[in-house]
Amino acid sequence: MSKSNMKMYREKKQFRPEIEGLRIVAALLVAIYHIWMQRVSGGVDVFFVVSGFLITASLLSKAGRDGTVNFFEFILGLAKRLLPAAFTVLLTVVIAGYFLLPEVQWNQTIREVFASIFYFENWQLALSNTDYLDQSNEKSPVQHFWAMSIQGQFYIIWFFIIISALWISQKFTRDIRKTLFIILAVLTAASLSYSIYITGSNQPWAYFDTGARVWEFALGGILFLVITRIRLSPGISSVAGWVGFIALVSCGILLDVGGQFPGFIALWPVLAAVLVLAAGENPTRFGVEKFLGSRPMLKLGGYSYGLYLWHWPILAFYYALMETRNVPVLHGILIILVSFMLSWAVTNVIEKPIRSIKEKNRYPSKAIAALVIVTAPVFIANTVWSSSIKDDVDESTAGWSEEFPGAMAVVNGMDIPYDANTELLPSPANLDINMAITYEVGCHHEDGSEDLPVCEYGELENPEYEVVLVGGSHVVPWLSTLQTFAEEENIKIYNITKISCRFNGEGIGEEMSEYCPEWNKMAKEKVIELQPDLVIVNTDLGTPASPEVEPERVELYRELETHDLEIFGIRNNPRPLFDMSMCANPRNIDREECSVDAQEYVPQPSKWEGVENKPSNVTEYDYSEYFCPDGSCPAIIGKRIVYFDGFHMSRSYAESLGPIVREDLMDELKDTGR
């Protein structure tokens, strides 16, 4: 590339005051929508466009000045600008989280802090199937770092894109602007196409997928490349700028941003930002850039990054302390003001001093040392917090005991008093990992897998009896129940289960995966091939609003009858319509919202009892009384937490049902005469 071209890029790098105003508007929209509307605004998409615009300008300027871009210098510059505020927030979350968050949120928060430290929080949320708008999902105080993670990944991607464009332009004596434009145009088309596809097929995943967001950054880069050629008349510029501003502000109200983004609908806030920036290139007397670039907006814009970082943790701790999702107007305003104050303090006391460090030689030891001082405490503190929880894992997965009777407290009519110091099993901090072993070993069939994993438990060498546990996630906890006595009774257990699939023959129905039909077919064939003494299944869905027992399920059981297979049917446990794990606190044992009405969730008779002409090979066992004693269904029974999440039975409580199920199962096995 020629020297004249390099000079051109240096000259065109200029300060755009309206960008600072656009940033603070976007940050305020994010905070306002989170606090009062519990929905998404589209403000993050604006951040992505602006980041693409500015980083393209910055990297081209560096290339024009030096003829290349030094990766180490580039990363160090980003770290000095981004890490001080981000890691101060993370350290605050770790310290405050230990004292303020319910223990049931500890593991989730620790995992997400580590993910945020290494800038892969978006993938952590995607892999954990987090729904960003699911109000029943207890969100960690760092869940908003998903956007920072995508942005960090984007900066790395952009470095290599600029370097590639620079290499191509030098190799073939081309203008880097044209080369980069082609690259970004292709990237925009590919990423937007992928975004539309993945949003349609798996929207919660798409929301956090970097590939579904890259086009927003790329469009910002393209805008920088062409913005000087955009010539608008004063009238059109004024209208375009205000239209973009109004479209941005109204985006979260008019569109289902969380449920349909990113996809093609994300073009709304993205193009709104483009209109505002294009208008800023063509300033007018009454243009939106005059408002956004005003002194107050410029000043506030300098704290937009901190506002975004701080508002969410403060809101999350507010939820935890106030035990409500409804934030009064005054409280919400205070959250925003405190966020601004913390942003101001961190920016001026920590960030600016680090950014202003000047090195006298080529080795930026002072800057690196300052960054280590800022970042190391977060990793250390989070590791210590994590270690303190892991020490309790073995104890929290213990079997039945007199100290923690669980379901046996119902059998024996025990009246157990609870107070704030009552020890529970599992400990609330370990609740989210208190699941059947099949989850740990990968035997719970994943979507998209073509094989049929079958795991074996209990007496494997010389079993007297063989049983098959088959179905979806609600039958899985009963594996822990069976394991408490399988070896003593010489029972071999085959586990054949799949995520989001009920064993109903057809594999179709509400909330079922598209892979269920094929899995049902394979599972049925495997059950018939194994010829067990008993097939253990759920007989219904367990939700109050669920339909009657599906005809397909009944027909499946009839088909198994033709193969002389007996079925041990278990009525599904109650499935509350909120996250019962958040009630896993002895202080909440008597709170009305932490107990549900038995008649509503497990009405008598059961739905299986209502089936006409029931197959004779099915015997249903209803254990509802051990989930809903005395007419209600609490979150804690016999000092054991019943659910590890919203409605899946915990491993510890499932184990406490062992003596009860053992008697019933052994009677059935002996009656089979096989």
Cβ-based neighbour number of residue 333 at 10 Å: 13
139-176: per-residue pLDDT in tens? 799 999 999 999 999 999 999 999 999 999 888 877 88
DSSP strands (E only) in 241-301: none
Residue 399 has pLDDT above 60, yes or no: no
CA-CA distance, 91 to 113, in Å (whole number)?
Answer: 9
Residue 395 dihedral angles phi and psi, to the nearest 5°: -65, -35
State how beta strands 465-471 and 534-538 pair.
parallel
Structure tokens at 654: 């499932």
Cβ-based neighbour number of residue 76 at 10 Å: 16
CB of 223 closer than 8 Å to CB of 185: no
Task: Give the list of residues 6+ apart from residue 268 with CB closer than 8 angstroms, or none.
Answer: 42, 247, 251, 255
14-39: per-residue pLDDT in tens? 678 999 999 999 999 999 999 998 88
Q: How many residues does the chain have?
A: 674
Res 111: pLDDT: 94
Residue 136 has pLDDT above 60, yes or no: no
CB of 316 closer than 8 Å to CB of 100: no
Task: Return the residue matching tokens 């470095």.
Answer: 159
Task: Return the residue matching tokens 């145009």.
Answer: 185
CA-CA distance, 265 to 200, in Å (whole number)?
Answer: 11
Range in 344-353, 414-423, 471-480, 620-629 with the lowest mean pLDDT: 414-423
Task: Return the residue matching tokens 């305003």.
Answer: 333
Dihedral sign for Cα atoms in the order 608, 610, 612, 616: positive
CB of 97 closer than 8 Å to CB of 141: yes
Res 257: pLDDT: 75
Residue 611 gets which letter from DSSP? -
**Reported confidence tier of residue 673, pLDDT bands at 50, 70, 90:** low
**Reported confidence tier of residue 55, pLDDT bands at 50, 70, 90:** very high
Alpha carbon of residue 270 to chain centroid: 24
Residue 425 gets which letter from DSSP? B
CA-CA distance, 440 to 560, in Å (whole number)?
Answer: 30
Res 393: pLDDT: 40
Residue 301 has pLDDT above 80, yes or no: yes
CB of 143 closer than 8 Å to CB of 108: no
**Reported confidence tier of residue 130, pLDDT bands at 50, 70, 90:** low
First and final C-alpha spacing in the chain: 84
Select from 48, 9, 11, 17 the least CA-distant residue to 279.
17
- Cis bond leading into 586, ω under 30°? no
Task: Give the list of residues 6+ apart from residue 91 with CB closer than 8 angstroms, or none.
Answer: 377, 378, 381
CATH T-level topology, domain 408-672: Rossmann fold (3.40.50)
Amino acid at 605: P
- CA-only gyration radius of the chain, Å: 29
Res 547: pLDDT: 66
556-601: per-residue pLDDT in tens? 999 999 999 999 999 988 887 677 767 888 877 777 777 788 888 8
Residue 48 gets which letter from DSSP? H
Residue 618 dihedral angles phi and psi, to the nearest 5°: -110, 130
**Reported confidence tier of residue 545, pLDDT bands at 50, 70, 90:** low
Amino acid at 73: E
**Reported confidence tier of residue 237, pLDDT bands at 50, 70, 90:** very high
Amino acid at 286: F
Secondary structure class of 392 (helix, strand, coil): coil
Residue 548 dihedral angles phi and psi, to the nearest 5°: -65, 170
255-269: per-residue pLDDT in tens? 877 778 899 999 999
DSSP strands (E only) in 459-529: 465-471, 491-498
Mean pLDDT (the chain, rounded): 88
Q: CA-CA-CA-CA torsion for 484, 487, 488, 493, nearest 10 degrees? A: 80
Residue 444 has pLDDT above 90, yes or no: no
CB of 467 closer than 8 Å to CB of 492: yes
Task: Give the list of residues 6+ apart from residue 236 with CB closer than 8 angstroms, or none.
Answer: none
CA-CA distance, 239 to 282, in Å (whole number)?
Answer: 12
Q: When comparing pLDDT for 15 and 605, which is higher?
A: 605
Residue 649 gets which letter from DSSP? B
468 strand-pairing partners: 494, 535
Res 205: pLDDT: 92
Select from 474, 480, 665, 487 the least CA-distant residue to 566.
665
CA-CA distance, 203 to 217, in Å (whole number)?
Answer: 20
**Reported confidence tier of residue 375, pLDDT bands at 50, 70, 90:** very high
Residue 395 has pLDDT above 50, yes or no: no
Residue 134 has pLDDT above 50, yes or no: no
For residue 549, give Cα distances in angstroms to 79, 560, 591, 605. Answer: 58, 17, 33, 13
Residue 133 gets which letter from DSSP? T
Cβ-based neighbour number of residue 153 at 10 Å: 18
Task: Return the residue matching tokens 């994590």.
Answer: 386
CA-CA distance, 238 to 230, in Å (whole number)?
Answer: 14
Domain boundaries, the chain: 20-385, 408-672
Residue 397 has pLDDT above 50, yes or no: no
91-124: per-residue pLDDT in tens? 999 999 999 998 888 999 999 999 999 999 999 9
Residue 132 has pLDDT above 60, yes or no: no
Residue 137 has pLDDT above 60, yes or no: no
208-217: per-residue pLDDT in tens? 999 999 999 9
Res 575: pLDDT: 81
Res 513: pLDDT: 76
